[in-house]
């Protein structure tokens, strides 16, 4: 029987590292510990797994198989567990990763395992293109393991309904063990509401489009750049500011003000405050945490209603575009927006209104309600489920 009084938060990596899974496990753990909902954090040294990965890949090549996908295998699970505090297995574990810790290890230790995920493997492998880089046998075994892990879990929690629907439709899990709890920014930004900017954007000063993301190709930086160029031809002053990747890694560095990898503790707030609109035009996106970071300081957002990103674009504080929308169509909408001060004020006020709910404290409070009552009466939503 799991020790309900001792609860830990797990991920593939060191939960206390702000770079682990974008920082979400750390922020969740901090809020959970402050509320007395969690006691310990799993600290898997991912770098120490490199030798295991190399040996496993070498074995694959030696036996005539494609390498790749070590983290999705039984060997990967066992290697990670060898570098973990196994005493945590006997408690109540909430994991951000389907393979860490191994479900069978938690079961043997008498513990309880729940998951908090942003996408199922069925979604990741197909929508993110991992089916092209991970060998078919590894994918199939990973999916089989994932199904078994979910079946043995206490709760399977997603951070939006796109993934929740996959649990029900693709995995056939019973609805009573699946729930969606909306997350918060990977880096805490509230309270830190952007001061009312001076001047008219697009006229007295540049209308600033903000972009956050290492994978700038998938996240649609080119769409933002092309939209900005069209707006300039329409007579608007526009600039694009971006963080999360090195300028030399982007061929469009002359068209975007790239700040690279910033010190978030010192520079994140000023960056967010410098933007008039946060943009994320992803071809595939489980949620789009960058949208929560902009909204968390009262900055409206714009993006494609693709996958789970649709739920991070609140109608009253965002521009919601279908994925087939062209930069020309986006620019037309934003050009009209720049000519409408009332709409600018409305989106900004609605973003500010939502900001106070985009915290990990609110998220953990919903976990507490689920654990104590077996349901969440009024879950927070930025956007209604489709």
Residue 382 located in a structural domain: no
Flag whether pLDDT at 321 surpasses 80.
yes
Q: Tell whether 281 and 332 lie within a shared domain.
A: yes
What b/e sequence results for 294-321 when a residue is b if at least 16 CB atoms lie within 10 Å of its CB, and e otherwise? bbbbbbbbbbbbbbbbbbbbbeebbbbb
Q: Tell whether 225 and 238 lie within a shared domain.
A: yes
The total domain count for the chain is 2
- Distance between CA atoms of residues 131 and 144, nearest Å: 15
Lowest model confidence (mean pLDDT) among 14-18, 124-128, 138-142, 170-174: 124-128
What is the percentage of the chain residues whose pLDDT exceeds 70?
98
- pLDDT for the residue 21: 93
Flag whether pLDDT at 253 surpasses 90.
no
Residue 142 located in a structural domain: yes
Flag whether pLDDT at 247 surpasses 70.
yes
Residue 385 located in a structural domain: no
Non-local CB neighbours of 136 within 8 Å, separated by 6+ positions: none
Q: Tell whether 218 and 160 lie within a shared domain.
A: no
Flag whether pLDDT at 241 surpasses 50.
yes
Residue 248 located in a structural domain: yes
Q: Tell whether 62 and 148 lie within a shared domain.
A: yes
Answer yes or no: are the C-beta atoms of 143 and 122 closer than 8 Å. Answer: yes
Q: Tell whether 215 and 256 lie within a shared domain.
A: yes
Over residues 197-209, the mean pLDDT reads 95
Over residues 105-129, the mean pLDDT reads 94
Residue 56 located in a structural domain: yes
Residue 133 located in a structural domain: yes
- Distance between CA atoms of residues 197 and 276, nearest Å: 9
Q: Tell whether 176 and 53 lie within a shared domain.
A: yes
Structural domain including 271 reads 207-355
Lowest model confidence (mean pLDDT) among 19-33, 80-94, 119-133: 119-133
- pLDDT for the residue 5: 65
Over residues 257-279, the mean pLDDT reads 95
Q: Tell whether 21 and 45 lie within a shared domain.
A: yes
Over residues 124-135, the mean pLDDT reads 85
* CATH number where 79 lies: 3.40.50.2000
| Mean of all residue pLDDT scores within the chain | 94
**How distant, in Å, are the alpha carbons of 173, 240, 253 from that of 218?**
30, 17, 17
Flag whether pLDDT at 104 surpasses 50.
yes
Q: Tell whether 162 and 270 lie within a shared domain.
A: no
- pLDDT for the residue 1: 40
Q: Tell whether 130 and 32 lie within a shared domain.
A: yes
Q: How many C-beta neighbours within 10 Å does residue 16 have?
A: 14
Over residues 378-384, the mean pLDDT reads 88
Over residues 66-71, the mean pLDDT reads 91
Over residues 177-199, the mean pLDDT reads 94
Instruction: Write out the E strands in 216-273.
Output: 238-243, 257-258
Hey, what are 358's tokens? 């985009």
Flag whether pLDDT at 2 surpasses 70.
no
Residues paired with residue 319 on neighbouring β-strands, in sequence order = 302
Rg (CA), the chain: 22
Flag whether pLDDT at 169 surpasses 90.
yes
Q: How confident is the model at residue 316 (pLDDT cuts 50, 70, 90)?
A: very high
Residue 195 located in a structural domain: no
Flag whether pLDDT at 39 surpasses 80.
yes
- pLDDT for the residue 386: 42
Residue 386 located in a structural domain: no
What is the percentage of the chain residues whose pLDDT exceeds 90?
90
Q: Tell whether 256 and 226 lie within a shared domain.
A: yes
Q: Tell whether 221 and 172 lie within a shared domain.
A: no
Q: Tell whether 246 and 296 lie within a shared domain.
A: yes
Flag whether pLDDT at 76 surpasses 60.
yes
Flag whether pLDDT at 341 surpasses 80.
yes
């Amino acid at each position: 029987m799991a020790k309900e009084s001792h609860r830990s938060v797990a991920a593939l990596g060191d939960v206390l590292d702000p770079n682990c899974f974008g920082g979400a496990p750390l922020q969740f753990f901090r809020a959970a510990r402050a509320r007395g909902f969690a006691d310990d954090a799993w600290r898997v040294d991912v770098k120490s797994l490199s030798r295991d990965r190399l040996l496993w890949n070498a074995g694959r090549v030696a036996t005539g198989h494609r390498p790749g996908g070590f983290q999705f295998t039984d060997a990967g699970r066992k290697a990670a567990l060898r570098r973990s505090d196994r005493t945590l297995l006997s408690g109540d574990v909430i994991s951000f990763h389907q393979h860490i810790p191994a479900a069978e290890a938690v079961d043997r230790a008498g513990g309880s395992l729940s998951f908090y995920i942003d996408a199922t493997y069925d979604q990741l492998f197909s929508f993110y293109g991992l089916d092209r880089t991970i060998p078919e046998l590894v994918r199939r075994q990973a999916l089989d393991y994932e199904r078994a892990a979910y079946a043995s879990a206490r709760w399977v929690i997603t951070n939006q309904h796109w993934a929740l629907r996959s649990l029900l439709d693709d995995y056939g899990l019973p609805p009573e063990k699946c729930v969606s709890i909306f997350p918060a920014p990977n880096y805490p930004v509230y309270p830190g509401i952007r001061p009312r900017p001076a001047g008219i954007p697009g006229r007295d000063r540049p209308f600033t489009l903000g972009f956050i993301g290492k994978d700038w190709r998938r996240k649609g930086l080119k769409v933002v750049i092309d939209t900005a160029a069209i707006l300039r031809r329409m007579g608007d002053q526009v600039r694009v500011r971006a963080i999360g990747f090195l300028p030399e890694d982007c061929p469009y560095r002359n068209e975007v003000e790239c700040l690279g990898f910033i010190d978030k503790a010192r520079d994140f707030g000023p960056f967010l405050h410098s933007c008039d609109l946060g943009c994320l035009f992803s071809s595939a996106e489980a949620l789009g945490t960058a949208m929560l970071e902009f909204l968390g300081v009262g900055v409206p957002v714009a993006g494609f209603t693709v996958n789970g990103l649709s739920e991070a674009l609140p109608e009253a504080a965002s521009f919601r575009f279908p994925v087939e929308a062209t930069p020309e169509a986006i620019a037309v909408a934003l050009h009209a927006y720049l000519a409408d001060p009332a709409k600018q004020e409305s989106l900004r006020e609605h973003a500010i209104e939502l900001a106070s709910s985009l915290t990990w404290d609110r998220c953990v409070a919903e976990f507490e309600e689920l654990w104590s009552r077996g349901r969440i009466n009024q879950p927070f939503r930025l956007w209604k489920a489709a």
